[in-house]
């Protein structure tokens, strides 16, 4: 399903736009918008679909949705009141000009590195919610200052943030960064093939043992887990596209050599079987 391109009604006199909603349900259609959205779920529980990834949400949770990242919130059970506070902002225009100041450039870098969104870890929610609440109650210049404080609070826990969709690559040394990105691009372009550890370690000009250490240090993942996440991410996309007649066909097309292994790996990463994921995906789009 193609997401709707939504226009956020940002006032022309605002660099940062804060919106509080109290409704019987969230906006019900898969959509995207140019602005980044920080959203605090004040009341409500349900599921969030981001690109092809499903996430449960609960009262008190906070998410960042990146610019033009397709998403939809579906509350559970239906009909119960939902309440949220959203901060919409663009990394272009006036805000970008301000964040290019040397003292604030770390915040612009933080936004750039988190374009695929994230969920604030539970152990940091109370601190971030306090910043959110201060921002909601402020106005004019104070609002802009408190927005920077909110970003700073999030940046302080950036090493613990995981993208809502896609695969993350942790920061590495400058010299190793080009090498790891080259290797990751190779894996992403060839994941449907039978990529062996020996093949990819040869690409890196390392022994298999040295490659495993280098890859884990650079990405925070083993080679096998990284490859499996890419394959499962593609399987999620195909399951949502309705272009395949069978789940087995998707499994083999994504590089898995057996449906049993596919089911096991899919559940370990997504938390659902492929059939359960497909049912949840269809329910969240057609409720």
pLDDT per position as a tens digit, 133-146: 999 999 888 999 99
| Banded model confidence at residue 255, pLDDT cuts 50, 70, 90 | very high
Kindly report which listed range (77-81, 101-105, 177-181, 248-252) carries the lowest average pLDDT score: 77-81
How many domains is the chain built from?
A: 2
Can you tell me the mean pLDDT for 265-281?
92
101 shares a domain with 29: yes
- Round to whole Å and give the CA distance between 227 and 165: 15
What's residue 286's pLDDT?
66
Predicted confidence at residue 175, as pLDDT, reads 41
Asked whether the predicted pLDDT for residue 287 surpasses 70, the reply is: no
Residues 155 and 237 grouped into a single domain:
no
142 and 257 part of one domain:
no
Residues 9 and 129 reside in one and the same domain: yes
- Please give the DSSP secondary-structure letter assigned to residue 154: H
Could you tell me if residue 166 is inside a domain? no
CB-hemisphere CA count at 13 Å for 161? 26
Triad 131, 134, 137: Cα angle to 5°: 150
Q: What is the pLDDT of residues 78-92, one digit of tens each?
A: 767 899 999 999 988
Overall average pLDDT of the 229-249 stretch: 88
Q: Express each pLDDT in 44-61 by its tens digit.
A: 999 999 988 899 999 999
Q: Are residues 117 and 37 in the same domain?
A: yes
- Please check whether residues 154 and 186 belong to one and the same domain: no
Is position 167 within any domain?
no
Residues 181 and 70 in one domain: no
Report the distance separating Cα 149 and Cα 128, nearest Å: 10
Band of residue 169 on the pLDDT scale cut at 50, 70, 90: low
**Which run of H or E residues covers position 284?**
helix 274-286
Residue 258 located in a structural domain: yes
Percent of the chain residues topping a pLDDT of 70: 94
Residues 178 and 251 in one domain: yes
pLDDT score recorded for residue 178: 76
pTM for the whole thing? 0.79
Residues 6+ apart with CB under 8 A from 248: 259
Mean pLDDT estimate for the chain? 90
CATH number for the domain that contains residue 149: 2.60.120.280
- Asked if residue 228 has pLDDT above 90, the reply is yes
Nearest to 233 by CA among 275, 282, 264, 191: 191
Same domain (yes/no): 60, 149: yes
Quick check: 37 and 64 in contact, CB under 8 A? yes
Is pLDDT above 60 for 168?
A: no
**CA–CA separation, 64 and 221 (whole Å):** 23
Q: Are residues 122 and 182 in the same domain?
A: no
Check whether residue 122 and residue 11 sit in a common domain.
yes
Per-residue pLDDT band at 165 (split at 50, 70, 90): confident
Decide: helix, strand or coil at residue 22.
strand
Whether residue 124 contacts residue 157, with contact meaning beta carbons closer than 8 Å, is answered with: yes
Q: 178 near 153, Cβ under 8 Å?
A: no
Residues 169, 98, 70, 5, Cα dihedral to 10°: -150
Measure the CA–CA gap between 58 and 46, rounded to whole angstroms: 7
Residue 149: which residues within 8 A CB-CB, separation 6 or more?
A: 131, 134, 135
258 pLDDT more than 80: yes
99/187 same-domain check: no
What is the average per-residue pLDDT within 182-188? 91
What confidence score (pLDDT) does residue 176 get?
A: 52
Domain that holds residue 80: 4-160
Residue 243's domain is classified under what CATH number? 1.10.10.60
Q: What is the pLDDT of residue 171?
A: 44
Are 274 and 15 in contact by the 8 Å Cβ rule? The answer is no
- Is residue 165 assigned to a domain? no
């Amino acid at each position: 399903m193609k997401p709707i391109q939504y226009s956020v009604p940002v006032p022309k006199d605002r660099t940062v736009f804060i919106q509080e909603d109290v409704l019987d349900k969230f906006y019900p259609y898969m959509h995207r918008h140019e602005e980044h959205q920080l959203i605090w779920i004040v009341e409500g529980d349900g599921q969030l679909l981001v690109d092809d990834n499903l996430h449960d949400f609960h009262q008190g949770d906070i998410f960042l949705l990146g610019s033009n990242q397709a998403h939809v919130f579906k509350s559970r059970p239906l009909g119960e009141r939902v309440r949220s506070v959203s901060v919409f902002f663009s990394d272009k225009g006036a805000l970008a000009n301000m964040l290019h100041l040397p003292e604030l450039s770390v915040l612009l870098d933080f936004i750039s590195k988190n374009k695929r969104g994230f969920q604030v870890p539970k152990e940091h929610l109370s601190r971030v919610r306090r910043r959110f609440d201060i921002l909601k109650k402020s106005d004019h210049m104070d609002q802009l200052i408190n927005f920077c404080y909110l970003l700073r609070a999030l940046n302080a826990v950036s090493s613990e943030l995981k993208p809502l969709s896609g695969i993350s690559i942790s920061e590495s040394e400058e010299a190793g960064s080009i090498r790891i990105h080259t290797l990751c691009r190779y894996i992403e372009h060839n994941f449907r093939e039978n990529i062996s550890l020996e093949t990819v370690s040869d690409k890196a000009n390392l022994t298999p043992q040295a490659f495993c250490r280098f890859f884990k240090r650079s990405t925070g993942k083993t080679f096998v887990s990284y490859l499996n996440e890419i394959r499962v991410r593609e399987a999620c996309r195909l399951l949502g596209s309705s272009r395949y007649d069978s789940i087995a066909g998707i499994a083999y097309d994504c590089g898995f050599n057996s449906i049993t292994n596919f089911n096991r790996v899919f559940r370990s990463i997504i938390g659902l079987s492929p059939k359960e994921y497909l049912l949840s995906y269809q329910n969240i789009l057609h409720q």
